[in-house]
């Protein structure tokens, strides 16, 4: 699956903002101590704070709005014995993502710099345009048009791998 880079960038920036130290435009700061036994809770609370602060985006940091989230292009390819499908979606508009309630955060920063997040979103509405081409057994599939997806009680999981970089003799995730 090929996903627009700005969604992944947004999620990564949100997690890095909490795990690292970053000043928000209004001068507020949220940090978590890596050695704290409550690191997972701190990251969960901080991430919830950052999601709320970045709901409408942040031009200064280059973070696009989380609500509504705009995905210009998404392409999915599926192929097995009975179904072959190429699906292209454009101008995707997602509403409700920033209402997520984070249930669990698990960090593993010592070995693999990994952060796992699980949350539940009360409602998501996704709209856009699509084009699909494929085969169901021997029957051709061709369709195009607009789509609207309404979902409730959406459980989602993210896994983000961070990497260390050094700038001005200081290490950052």
CB burial of 41-61 (b: ≥16 within 10 Å; e: otherwise) equals ebbbbbbbbbbebbeeebeee
Q: Are 71 and 97 in contact (CB under 8 A)?
A: no
Q: What digits encode the pLDDT tens for the residues 89-117? A: 999 999 999 999 999 988 887 777 888 99
Taking residues 141-157, report their average pLDDT: 95
Instruction: Give me the pLDDT at residue 168, please.
Output: 82
What is the pLDDT, as a whole number, of residue 60?
Answer: 83
Please state the pTM of the whole predicted model.
0.71
The residue with greater pLDDT, 148 or 42, is 148
Rounded average pLDDT over 8-27: 47
* Helix, coil or strand: residue 159: strand
pLDDT at 8: 47
Number of neighbours of residue 66 by Cβ within 10 angstroms:
24
Residue 14 has pLDDT above 60, yes or no: no
CATH class of the region 5-172: alpha beta
What's the pLDDT at 88? Answer: 96
């Amino acid at each position: 699956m090929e996903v627009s880079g700005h969604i992944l960038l947004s999620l990564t920036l949100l997690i890095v903002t909490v795990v690292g130290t970053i000043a928000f435009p209004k001068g507020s700061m949220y940090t978590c101590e890596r050695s704290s036994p409550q690191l997972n809770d701190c990251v969960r609370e901080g991430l919830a704070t950052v999601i709320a602060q970045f709901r409408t985006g942040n031009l200064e940091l280059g973070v696009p709005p989380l609500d509504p989230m705009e995905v210009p292009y998404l392409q999915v390819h599926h192929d097995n014995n009975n179904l072959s499908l190429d699906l292209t979606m454009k101008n995707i508009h997602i509403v409700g993502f920033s209402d997520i309630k984070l249930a669990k955060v698990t960090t593993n920063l010592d070995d693999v710099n990994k952060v796992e997040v699980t949350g539940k979103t009360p409602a998501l509405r996704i709209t856009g345009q699509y084009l699909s081409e494929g085969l169901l057994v021997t029957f051709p599939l061709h369709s195009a048009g607009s789509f609207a997806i309404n979902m409730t009680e959406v459980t989602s999981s993210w896994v983000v791998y961070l990497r260390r970089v050094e700038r001005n003799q200081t290490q950052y995730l």
